[in-house]
Amino acid sequence: MMASDAKTILPERATIHSIFAVPDMHCAGCIAKVERGLANVPGIVSARVNYSARRVTIEHDQALSPPELRAAIAGIGFAAEPLADPMVDDGQAESKTLLKALAVAGFASMNIMLLSVSIWSGADGATRDLFHWLSALIALPTVAYAGQPFFRSAFSALRAGRTNMDVPISIGVLLATGMSLFETITGGRHAWFDGAVMLLTFLLAGRWLDGAMRGKARDGVAALLRQSAPGAYVVRAGQRKWVAARSLTPGMMMQVAAGERFAADGEIRDGRSSIDLSFLTGESQPKPVSIGDMVHAGALNVDGPLTVIVRACGPDTVIADIARMMDAAGQGKSRYVRIADRAARIYAPAVHLLAALSFAGWMIAGAGIHQSLLIATAVLLITCPCALGLAVPAAQVVACGALMRRGILVKDGSALERLAEADRAIFDKTGTLTLGRPEPINLASLTHEKKSIVLALARASRHPLSIALAGALQRQGIVAAMVDDLQEVPGVGMRGSCAGHPVALERPSGATAWAGLATQFMFGSRRVLLTFADALRPDAVSSVARLRVMGLEPIIASGDRPEALHDIAIATDMLATGRMTPQAKLAMIERLKAQGHRVLMVGDGLNDGPALAAGHVSLAPSSASDASQLAADAVFLGDSLAPVAIAVRAARRTLAVVRQNFALAIGYNLLAVPLAIAGMVTPLVAALAMSGSSIVVVANALRLRNAAK
């Protein structure tokens, strides 16, 4: 056989996914090290870091075991723990640890500063030494406890032969504390316990704020999965028994009553009803179903009892697929790195080099080891990245507070930065552009007597349109008539009799079936079509126009029928696409991303969850489903759509202040570092200067208190 004719058939490579929690990732450099390091390990196909959840998903050969993967991550310099359940998130424990450390450091710094003020005021001799010892008694245990988050991270990095932002922080704090203790023991005039502890307080505050906001990023997936019922009644061997959702298996026969949600995907074997499938389709009107139709976990059975044979359960359901899409989209978004993290790649080695060169230079100049160490400590402290670290979170916290006062709850501080960059806005229709509350618009066509009959029928039904109809009639002061033989026909509506006449409130059929939001009232042989409208949110038209002025091109992407979108599209002057599934919305966002656009997604339904997670930034109204609220970066309260434009404007102001803060922080370093290297700055002055730079940054951020006006 000729070599050119030979073909080698290789078996398909079998791979699996493993997920590990990696809590010590703190910057973009950590992400790059983990992903590049694991990619070079034999048997590992790929590694993807989810920074928001502090975890890495590894695709690897089946031959690699979890202990081997854990060892590979440890070899890169990071402690890791396997996660059996990908929805587990241990970020709360880290946040509590940081908060405790912050409380200790803050309390200690206030007390040490009181002692330092006395020394600065002229205390000398034995009084000064006493105050130094009291400061030492407070500072030493505080540094040992509150500095642990930085010390552990720095030690892990150094043990792996790398560096990170926590290394100069740890060195500076330990040197300042050690030199202060030496000065205290030898009766020196100066000690810098206040600078060391205050430094920890500022840094812990920034890290806790970042962690607290980042910890919400994963909550949307768990909330989405909670939409599915916890279990179902299963019929086996003629007996009816409750079975938890995790124990359901394909082939089981579920019985689902009206008003209950489905615990698994399945096929209807008996019964007729209508189901609320808005989390999949966005359709505002329940969909009629009967024998042979498919139903999905999380959907609400509206009208009548159904018997369903389970076809898919647990991780194989459609709602679980949507959760996976949200998770994957969230990982893509987690690659957005703050400017401070990008600067940290070169910041730490630069600080070390400057301190080392300062020490060596002064030793060569004959200053002695004591004086050289003081200068090196001053360099480490004065160049510590406190102002840089606060540049972003200080502005974000102030802006988030201003937005909160306007009814806009921002959950992820970095969302403001991304919101300022958005140039496209995609809106869902029902519940987003509109209020999601159908209201009858032609009740005037009914007489008072017929309104009473309609109210009696509507009150007995759990259908969303019946609930809206009953509410509207009750607000008019209508009293329900006496209707006999009331019964709900699954998939049809309510029927009864009044004064010998058959009456009904049913789904439109025949020539009137085209009607969108509508129901049909029957009195004897006469029929009246009652139509409903889902009103636009107040300020919707002006808010969309305001977004256009700011350079955001708005688009409607809805799961509703195209005919239901027509009037809304005309009123808001937007292009609209209907019958969009979650996958279609996700694909639209990916297409816009590929074209270089940055998408603001505004939605409210479960079907919007993946799109909210995939957008460059996302907002949801407070009326949205729990999963959508948690998947979104911000939630706005009230019925008005104006908060969307307000948030964009505030975000752009915030980004401008962030840039100013970075200019101030960098300018401070350019001025202060040469002075410290020249030996003109003591460690105490360095610590005060560092704190002063932080105060300047915070003061500049406070200008954002009116950002939402």
Q: Decide if pLDDT at 505 tops 50.
A: yes
Pairing of strands 253-256, 306-312: antiparallel
Q: Decide if pLDDT at 13 tops 90.
A: no
pLDDT class of 487 with cuts at 50, 70, 90: confident
Catalytic site includes residue 428: yes
Q: From CA 575, how far away is CA 553, in angstroms rounded?
A: 10
Sheet containing 484-489: order of strands: 439-440, 526-533, 518-523, 501-506, 493-498, 484-489
Task: Give the per-residue pLDDT at 283.
Answer: 54
Among the options 89, 428, 534, 604, which is catalytic? 428
Enumerate the H helices of 40-147 as residue ranges.
66-76, 91-120, 125-146
Task: Give the per-residue pLDDT at 33.
Answer: 79
Query: What is the H or E stretch that residue 56 is in?
Result: strand 55-61
Q: Is 526 exposed, middle or buried (0-12, 13-18, 19+ CB in 10 A)?
A: exposed
Task: Give the per-residue pLDDT at 334.
Answer: 35
Summarize pLDDT for 62-110 with one digit per residue, the tens.
778 877 888 888 888 888 877 644 444 445 667 778 889 989 998 998 8
| Mean pLDDT for the stretch of residues 637-655 | 90
Q: Decide if pLDDT at 382 tops 70.
A: yes
* Cβ 198 vs Cβ 146: under 8 Å: no
Q: For 205, how many CA atoms within 13 A lie in the half-sphere containing its CB?
A: 20
9-13, 34-38, 541-545: least confident range: 9-13
pLDDT class of 619 with cuts at 50, 70, 90: very high
pLDDT class of 524 with cuts at 50, 70, 90: confident
Task: Give the per-residue pLDDT at 598.
Answer: 93
The pTM is what? 0.58
Q: Which residue has the higher pLDDT, 211 or 215?
A: 211
Q: Decide if pLDDT at 537 tops 50.
A: yes
Summarize pLDDT for 259-295 with one digit per residue, the tens.
788 988 999 998 888 887 665 554 556 778 888 888 8
pLDDT class of 244 with cuts at 50, 70, 90: confident
122-126, 226-230, 570-574: least confident range: 226-230
Q: From CA 574, how far away is CA 683, in angstroms rounded?
A: 61
| Mean pLDDT for the stretch of residues 621-641 | 79
| Mean pLDDT for the stretch of residues 604-633 | 80
| Mean pLDDT for the stretch of residues 30-48 | 83
Task: Give the per-residue pLDDT at 411.
Answer: 74
pLDDT class of 53 with cuts at 50, 70, 90: low
SS (H, E, C) 269-327: EECCEEEECHHHHCCCCCEEECCCCEECCCCEECCCCEEEEEEECHHHCHHHHHHHHHH
Q: Which residue has the higher pLDDT, 328 or 100?
A: 100
* CA 68 to centroid of chain Cα atoms: 32
Q: Which residue has the higher pLDDT, 507 or 646?
A: 646
- Here the tokens at position 256 are 């689902």
Summarize pLDDT for 657-671 with one digit per residue, the tens.
988 988 888 888 888
* Cβ 678 vs Cβ 646: under 8 Å: no
Task: Give the per-residue pLDDT at 93.
Answer: 64
Q: From CA 292, how far away is CA 52, in angstroms rounded?
A: 42
Q: Decide if pLDDT at 140 tops 50.
A: yes
Q: Which residue has the higher pLDDT, 472 or 50?
A: 472
Q: From CA 74, how far away is CA 55, in angstroms rounded?
A: 14
Per-chain mean pLDDT for the chain: 79
Summarize pLDDT for 101-135 with one digit per residue, the tens.
989 998 998 888 888 877 777 777 788 888 889 99
pLDDT class of 408 with cuts at 50, 70, 90: confident
Q: Decide if pLDDT at 256 tops 60.
A: yes
Task: Give the per-residue pLDDT at 227.
Answer: 63
Task: Give the per-residue pLDDT at 509.
Answer: 67
CA distance readout (Å), 344 to 104, 337, 656, 665: 27, 11, 21, 13
Q: From CA 153, how far away is CA 540, in angstroms rounded?
A: 49
* Cβ 245 vs Cβ 263: under 8 Å: yes
| Side chain identity, residue 696 | V
* Cβ 516 vs Cβ 561: under 8 Å: yes
Q: From CA 551, how far away is CA 422, in angstroms rounded?
A: 9
